[in-house]
Amino acid sequence: MFRKAYSKHLGFNVMVSILAILYGLIMFNLLFLRDRDFLDGYAYNFVPFDTIWRYIEHRDHFNFDIWFKNLFGNLILFIPIGMFLPLLNRKFKRSFSMIVSCIFLIAIVEVSQMLFKVGSFDVDDIILNTTGAWLGLLLIKRFMKRGRSSNE
């Protein structure tokens, strides 16, 4: 079951799996269920960095909570993906595999939010979320290196 996992310890892999499932449920709630107003139409942004630059350039026009959540929340909330994926499957230890998978996964979420009218499609969310996942990968790689050297 955990042949491709980072660790050979069943208890560790079960714990990581449970945490990943809990994280997935929390994210599903945040992305699709939590206090969402259904949109009348479709909202989208296909221009990379358009929303990001707007938040940076006009930060004085936004409430701090909105500004912070849209820029840093999109980074921080996806750090765990970059940590869970390589722990559950070693192929995600490589940045390219993890980034491509995250772009695909997050694009599905963004399109779903737009189609179900519980959010909007924003290419900048894909950029920020993937960057957050990549930061998680960088953090977990340090842990994985220490774990390997202490086991040897």
8-67: pLDDT as tens digits? 999 999 999 999 999 999 999 999 987 666 556 677 899 999 999 999 999 899 899 988
* Other CB atoms within 10 A of residue 8 CB: 10
Q: Where are the domains of the chain?
A: 10-151
Q: What is the pTM of this model?
A: 0.87
Residues 6+ apart with CB under 8 A from 143: none
pLDDT tens digit sequence for 101-125: 999 999 999 999 888 888 889 999 9
User: What sign does the CA torsion over 102, 104, 109, 114 have?
Assistant: positive
Strand partners, 45: 122
